[in-house]
Amino acid sequence: MESNVFLSYGTLVTPIGIGIDANFKSLKNGISGIQQKEHAGFKQENWFLSTMENLQGNRFNTLLETALNDLKKSYPEALLSDQKTCFILSSTKGNIDHLAGDVFASARTLIGNITNNPNDVIVISNACISGVIAINTAADYLRYSGFDTVIVIGIDVVSDFVLFGFQSLFALSDEPARPFDKNRKGISLGEACGIIVVSKEKTTASSVEYLSGASSNDANHISGPSRTGEGLFRVVNKTIERAAIPHSEIDFISAHGTGTLYNDEMESIAFMRCELQNVPTNSLKGFFGHTLGAAGVIEVIVCMLSIEHQLLFESKGFEETGTTQEINLVKQTHPASVKTVLKTASGFGGGNAALLIRK
């Protein structure tokens, strides 16, 4: 039997709050970070984004510093600097203002300086599934590499580069993203930083047990999701098999749900094929936008809040079924018995990843 792994939230810095409590309050009150930003896009177009106006100077560094300093409020410096603690960074574009140089260098330096941790920072850049893969990787380092604590940081900021790119793909919505809705038109980009502390023991009352995780490729298209949901279907089944639990034990699914026509359709097909179509499901992209490399981490933190508070958050923006397979989306935030949660992610490069956590 493999040793137990627990996840505890470190911090969450998003446009709807700095710190876990502030974000919880906003989520509970239905406050979204997505707003129209004038002249933000290529050719000065207006787009709906979930961004933080108050990030001064180098926005990536400021966001990372803010998150690490908030982490230090709840985790002792002795733990962060311990030789048996290591950091995993999940990000798609890192400090993109540093191109043509090393976009991940500033994060390595900042993490080292702020935490005094002596180990190399492990960096994962695997598109939109980076965050879920990073948590799965952290569990491996804990189980097999002799670390007592692995700290996972998911971070990405909105930049011209990424905004113009999604604009060129016609993937942006001209209203706040509405994942899984009949009238969904695309994504809203967002920025955020989330930190999860992975350890061998339950460190706080809100810690959850990590059961299993996996990744799988669609082998279909580099920028278009599979029509059959093959990769997601496989990875969800693999994750459930590894946890050795029946499908019926899953109380809630935190889906990827970007708000594009094809992605959400693919997810609905995969969940139906996994016979999970009746399990309450949401996408948090209507609150935070699509935060790319941060998404998996911040969404797992919200799953932990659902377990802690026995509360399912609405799938913001969803009104009417808009996928050929009807799945059970959470229309309104409501109390519920939440013990076992499945988190999924899908992304460019055909990647899919999933993990299971339990109260």
- Name which of 172 and 284 has its Cβ closer to another protein: 172
Nearer to another protein, 168 or 204 (CB): 168
Measured from the CB atom, is 78 or 100 closer to another protein? Answer: 100
Q: Are 329 and 318 in contact (CB under 8 A)?
A: yes
Identity of the residue, 220 or 325, whose beta carbon is nearer to another protein in the bound complex: 220
Of residues 122 and 245, the one with the C-beta less far from another protein: 122
Using CB under 8 A, list all residues that contact another protein: 42, 92-94, 99-100, 102-105, 108, 120, 122-127, 133, 137, 140-141, 143-145, 160-161, 164-169, 214-223, 230-231, 234, 238, 348-351
Q: How many CB atoms lie within 10 A of CB 54?
A: 9
CA distance 97 to 284: 27
Shortest approach of another protein to residue 243 CB, angstroms?
A: 13
| Min CB(100)–another protein separation in Å | 6
196 backbone dihedrals φ, ψ, rounded to 5°: -120, 135
Closest distance of CB 32 from another protein, Å? 26
Q: Which is nearer to another protein, 143 or 200 (CB)?
A: 143
What is d(CA 195, CA 216) in angstroms, rounded to the nearest whole number?
24
When the beta carbons of 218 and 299 are compared against another protein, the nearer one is: 218
CB of 140 to another protein, least distance (A): 4
| CA nearest neighbour of 300 among 248, 255, 349, 235 | 255
Query: d(Cα 308, Cα 339) in Å, to the nearest integer?
Result: 9
Least distance from another protein to the Cβ atom of residue 112, Å: 12
Q: How far apart are the first and last CA of the chain?
A: 19
Question: In a 3-state reduction of DSSP, which class is residue 342?
Answer: strand
Nearest distance in Å: CB 237, another protein: 11
Q: Where are the alpha helices (DSSP H) in the chain?
A: 20-28, 59-74, 77-80, 105-115, 130-144, 160-168, 230-243, 261-273, 285-288, 295-309
Smallest distance, another protein to C-beta of residue 141, A: 8
Listed in sequence order, the residues at least 6 apart from 93 whose beta carbon sits closer than 8 Å to its beta carbon are 103, 156, 159, 161, 162, 292, 293
CB closer to another protein, 27 vs 162: 162
In whole angstroms, give the CA distance from residue 91 to residue 293: 4
Q: Tell me how far, at minimum, the Cβ of 169 lies from another protein, in Å.
A: 5
The values of phi and psi at residue 217, to 5°, are: -95, 145
